[in-house]
Amino acid sequence: MRFSVVLFVFVILNAKIAISQAQRSAVPLEYYYEYDQNFPLEVSVDTLSDRTFHITFTSVHGKRVPALLSLPEQGEAPYPVVIAQHGLGDHKGVDYMQYGDKILSEHGFAVMRIDFELHGERKSQNFDRSMIQKYPYTFTNVLSQTVFDLRRVTDYLDSRSDIDANHTAFLGISLGGIAGTVFCGVEARVEYAIIVIAGGGLEFVFGSGNGKKQAMIAPVEPLNFVKQIAPRPLLFINAEHDETIPKAASVALHDAAEEPKKIVWYDSGHKIKDITRVYNECAEWIKANMAAKSD
């Protein structure tokens, strides 16, 4: 009788362990990016001009993140805001980011820009395309850390009375669009998402057919998160002759997204020359969706 009871307890215990393991394996990837929103941001603000500020705040894993916040010269507070993210090997003050800041500001948007992990003010070594193949785990960590950092950006913007928390847009370029797809998928406070010259299917970067690497990059694979952006509006801007992001990768990311979505193709390589058109098109798209939301 005692043996039967012990056996019964053993079976029940094993069943509970099996159920627990199954539940863990079924946990959605977005839970990977949960964090303590009430953890102190420890914000430091340096005024660069009457409308431009250098900001540093504490992110997840104790990282200090440098950022630039620009307020528009026209309009009245609280301002709608665009969180803009640069690409691989660049930084928040690179020329195309500064130019985008200027155009978006002219349209009445505040603009927040941060440095990717291991980029800009956070750079400890040159992080370029060769690093992806050489240090794939570091590359994955850079992307996931930046997703956390962008979520903390949203916490900071929510704390400012001069920012309209109900009109927050994201604009990510290249690697910024890849990380941004994940960010927008897990961060519901972003109302409008714009992904520029990015794509899905990161396993092709590391080499297909490697299950370990595919599992490793799952938390930063945009195809795993893009559906979660719906029902918020999503705009893709891609290049027909992109030599960095294959067209098939851009199409795959668009196809995986849910409505409402829009895709625009430029007759260009990865470096779009008509950057003025890109930023103006993004600004007008955000304003049109803001107006639709207000109706």
Q: In whole numbers, what is the pLDDT of the chain averaged over residues?
A: 88
51 and 30 both lie in a single domain:
no
Kindly state whether residues 151 and 283 are assigned to the same domain: yes
The residue type of 71 is L
Q: What is the pLDDT of residue 209?
A: 46
Q: Are residues 45 and 165 in the same domain?
A: yes
Nearest alpha-carbon partner for 59 in 163, 150, 184: 150
Which of the four pLDDT bands, split at 50, 70 and 90, describes residue 125? confident
Residue 50: alpha-carbon gap to chain centroid: 28
Which residues, 6 or more positions from 91, have their beta carbon under 8 angstroms from its beta carbon? 97, 115, 116, 119, 120, 121, 123
Give the neighbor-by-neighbor strand order of the sheet with 52-58: 44-49, 52-58, 64-70, 110-114, 79-85, 163-173, 192-196, 234-239, 261-266
Same-domain status, 2 and 148 = no
User: What is the predicted pLDDT for the residue at 14?
Assistant: 41
Q: At what angle do helices 95-106 and 275-294 cross, to 10 degrees?
A: 40
Dihedral class, residue 118 (left if φ above 0, else alpha if ψ from -120 to 50, else beta): left
Q: Which residues contact 287 (CB under 8 A, 6 or more apart)?
A: 107
Per-residue pLDDT band for 216 (boundaries 50, 70, 90) equals confident
- Are 43 and 115 within one domain? yes
Shared domain check, 117 and 160: yes
Radius of gyration of the chain (CA): 21
Query: Which of 252, 228, 250 minimizes the C-alpha distance to 241?
Result: 250
Q: Tens digits of per-residue pLDDT, 28-42?
A: 787 899 999 999 999
The answer on pLDDT for 59 being more than 50 is yes
**Are 86 and 30 found together in one domain?**
no
Model confidence at 20: pLDDT above 50: no
Task: Answer yes or no: do 261 and 289 share one domain.
Answer: yes
Q: What is the per-residue pLDDT for 127? A: 75
Same domain? For 20 and 113 the reply is no
What's the rounded mean pLDDT across residues 186-201?
97
Query: Quick check: 93 and 101 in contact, CB under 8 A?
Result: no
Residue 203 pLDDT more than 90?
no
pLDDT at 223: 95
- The CATH number for 43's domain is 3.40.50.1820
Say if residues 155 and 163 touch (Cβ distance below 8 Å): no
- Total domains in the chain come to 2
pLDDT of 136 reads 83
Structural domain that includes position 274: 35-294
Q: Is the peptide bond before 80 cis (omega within 30 degrees of 0)?
A: no
* Number of other CB atoms surrounding residue 254 within 10 Å: 18
- The string of pLDDT tens digits covering residues 141-181 is 999 999 999 999 999 999 999 999 999 999 999 999 999 99
pTM for the whole structure: 0.89
Supply the pLDDT for residue 185: 97
Percent of the chain's residues with pLDDT above 90: 76
For helices 175-186 and 136-158, what crossing angle results, to 10°?
60
What is the reported pLDDT for 11?
A: 38
pLDDT at 129: 75
Note whether 130 and 5 are same-domain residues: no
Residue 104 has pLDDT above 70, yes or no: yes
Q: What is the pLDDT of residue 10?
A: 34
pLDDT on residue 133: 76
8 Å CB contact between 70 and 63: no
Residues 44 and 28 occupy one common structural domain: no
Residues 105 and 236 in one domain: yes
Task: Give the pLDDT confidence of 219-255 residue by residue, as tens digits.
Answer: 999 999 999 999 999 999 999 999 999 999 999 999 9
